Structure 1
Amino acid sequence: MPMSSHETFNAESAVELAVIERSGFIESRHVGAAVLIAGDGSVVTRLGDIDAPVFARSTLKPFQALASMQSGVPLRGAQVAVACGSHTGSLDHMDVVEGMLKAAGVREEHLQCPAAWPQDETARSWLVRSDRGQSKLAFNCSGKHAAFLWACTENGWDLRSYLEPNHPLQQRVRSVIEEYCGEPISHLGIDGCGAPVAAISLIGLARGFSRLAKSPGDPSANARAATIATSMLDYPWAVQGRGESNTIVMEELDVLAKIGAEGVLVLATPTGAAVAVKVLDGNVRATALVGLTLLAASGAVDVAAVSSVLERIVEPVLGGGRAVGRIRLGHAVSALLD
């Protein structure tokens, strides 16, 4: 029976991507799907059902930022990166977003993302000490929303309805996603920040990031797409946060990295080799291990450099405050290293 466009793949069409080992005992298993494509868009490695739709969640932010820029928003430098980011709400992040709002002629209360405590401890302490409380600026999607509002003020579009699917900006977002990913959106939902979120296939997502990552070296590419890829690598702290997984990958490997909620991760090299991963149970802890291993196994990135990065970003399994186990590759992925 064909799968409905209103659901993602199931466990029967998934593979074991990673396992959690504690004290020599396999405690948990993460199943999912992953795809690695070459720079020409051809599939190099296929694990599980890569054609089924998944909600791509925050991995879509670079395309949403591109739609804002194509609507006339003059983003520059860290502004571009934070518009593409799922940030930790540091003081630097909030400063950049506040500057975007000021340039757009709007205020924090115009943001329609929820107010939140920042993940960043320094920023959280400052909000508590100053009696400011939770802030919309601290929400991890505030950069994207600030860019959305700026697009509205540039075009005279309604500010109150900027998240509605039929809003001119969201129509442009949809067109950009479909253009870059090379397939129609199969389902549209509401993301955690309130914005529309698209369901597309993993292979479509990988191809979209491949095209984006190649843009700086392609004279025929969209100049704004090239700016996005360059800015994410130039300001990786603005995409997630200093010391965070995506930031370290971009700093050390020169690879675009964008995590999404519910176990989604996309990676792409400047030559267009790209990986898209979806862990079916929604846990993100194995995504970087799986994605970077696929790139390294294909020769798209240096194996030693990947090993060094994984040592920094893959959290150990702890017992009593010391390492008693590890996340390790499932057989479907480890077999690629033989």
Structure 2
Amino acid sequence: MEPVLVKEYRAGIMECSHHGHICIVNGRGETEAFAGDPDFVTFTRSAAKPLQAIAPIRGGIASHYGLNEKEIAIMTASHMAQHDHVEVLESIMKKTGLTESELVCAPSLPLNEESKEVVLRGHGGKRRLYHNCSGKHLGVLAYCKMKGYPLEGYADPGHPVQKEIIETVSAMCGIAPERISLGTDGCGFPVFALPLSAMASAYVKLACPDLIQDEGIREAVTTITRAMNLHPEMVGGSGRVDSLVLQDANFVAKGGFKGVYCFGLKKERLGIAFKVLDGSEEEWGWIVESILEQIGYGNEALIRRLKESFTHDIFNDEGKKVGHAETVFRLQSV
């Protein structure tokens, strides 16, 4: 049975319930705690971006093109096309010689409302660079250019770069490549269907690179996660859970579309993955907060910031409190 993770109330009456599954694994890849089905299979969506960045960074694009840590961080991002994001993306294009027309992700408006208004007021329009996945695409394209791979078709599953990415995902998740089912993500990239336990296993390795046997992958993961912690604003943007929790150097975290969220804790040597089954993202902050409280996480300041940033109060359009949300799941130990 699918447990309820969050309930929302209006005027004391339950209006919505959000079901889902949670899995927590330890450094040995063993499930330690769960809610629902810890092996529930779902698509990684953008939670895979730190894994998809490994091949380009392991291949040496940072030194080859002189990329800085902000530019590495945005390769893992679901950015909101805020001014700083666009500036960093344009810097990558300048250093690599790539053009915006080479990106296969669709032209978009900024996800950030203020940035979108600036674009529209300036009589601007959609750009491929504004797509929230453009940093990932630029990183992979830069790698293709450096390796001499064809740039055309770089998002196709049969392209050499995508084959290398799936092999890396396989190594991080502990699942053979042929057992990973593929779909097509919103941005055109292959997307991986994995059990939550496999996603959590990958994230405990992202948090604890010493668990990774392959030296090249281990060094790349260290570089990528350091950049994410140093520049959390590049990974998401204003008001995003990722950018808040990554301010804690003990965290590696990334969410994906349709309700999937993953994070790893370094000192605790834990990987956590969860899926909100209705695809909603509004509950992420509440669920992360509850998980941290239930496992006795020591950074009380972070939990307090989560409570403040993602209040359980529900407000109407005029800012009047009209209801509240409650996290109702309880983790079960194995």
TM-score by length of 2: 0.90
Does the alignment pair 1:16 with 2:4? yes
Match of 2:230 in 1: 234
Shift of 1:252: 4.5
In structure 1, the gaps of 5 or more residues are 1-11
2:73, 2:224 within 8 Å by CA — same for their partners in 1?
A: yes
| Number of equivalenced pairs | 323
Task: Choose the corresponding residue for 1:188, options 161, 170, 182.
Answer: 182
Go from structure 1 to structure 2 and tell me whether the alpha carbon gap of 1:306 and 1:253 turns closer, same or farther (over 3 Å shift). farther
Report the 3-state secondary structure (helix = DSSP H, G, I; strand = E; otherwise coil) of the residue aligned with 1:325: strand
5 Å-filtered alignment, 1:72-91, equals 72-74=60-62, 75-91=67-83
Match of 1:40 in 2: 28
Deviates more, 1:198-207 or 1:183-192: 183-192
1:117, 1:133 within 8 Å by CA — same for their partners in 2?
A: yes
Task: Choose the corresponding residue for 1:150, options 142, 157, 162.
Answer: 142
Match of 1:326 in 2: 324
Match of 1:166 in 2: 158
Shift of 1:164: 0.4
Task: Choose the corresponding residue for 1:283, options 280, 284, 300.
Answer: 280
Letter aligned with residue 324 of structure 1: V
Letter aligned with residue 19 of structure 2: V
Does the alignment pair 1:199 with 2:168? no
Does the alignment pair 1:62 with 2:50? yes
Bigger relative contact order (CA 8 A; separation at least 6): 2
Identity of aligned residues (%): 29
Structure 2 distance, partners of 1:313, 1:232, is 21
Shift of 1:94: 1.0
Structure 2 distance, partners of 1:46, 1:218, is 24
Shift of 1:301: 3.9
Does the alignment pair 1:309 with 2:301? no
Match of 2:91 in 1: 99
Shift of 1:275: 1.2
1:265, 1:291 within 8 Å by CA — same for their partners in 2?
A: no
1:212, 1:229 within 8 Å by CA — same for their partners in 2?
A: yes
Letter aligned with residue 186 of structure 1: I
Go from structure 1 to structure 2 and tell me whether the alpha carbon gap of 1:172 and 1:291 turns closer, same or farther (over 3 Å shift). same
Does the alignment pair 1:53 with 2:34? no
Match of 1:3 in 2: none
Structure 2 distance, partners of 1:181, 1:233, is 22
Structure 2 distance, partners of 1:158, 1:81, is 25
Deviates more, 1:136-145 or 1:284-293: 284-293
Task: Choose the corresponding residue for 1:245, options 224, 241, 265.
Answer: 241
Shift of 1:315: 5.8
Report the 3-state secondary structure (helix = DSSP H, G, I; strand = E; otherwise coil) of the residue aligned with 1:158: coil
Structure 2 distance, partners of 1:139, 1:297, is 36
Structure 2 distance, partners of 1:79, 1:199, is 28
Match of 2:256 in 1: 260
Report the 3-state secondary structure (helix = DSSP H, G, I; strand = E; otherwise coil) of the residue aligned with 2:280: coil
Deviates more, 1:159-168 or 1:121-130: 121-130
TM-score by length of 1: 0.89
Go from structure 1 to structure 2 and tell me whether the alpha carbon gap of 1:257 and 1:301 turns closer, same or farther (over 3 Å shift). farther
Does the alignment pair 1:127 with 2:113? no
Does the alignment pair 1:29 with 2:17? yes
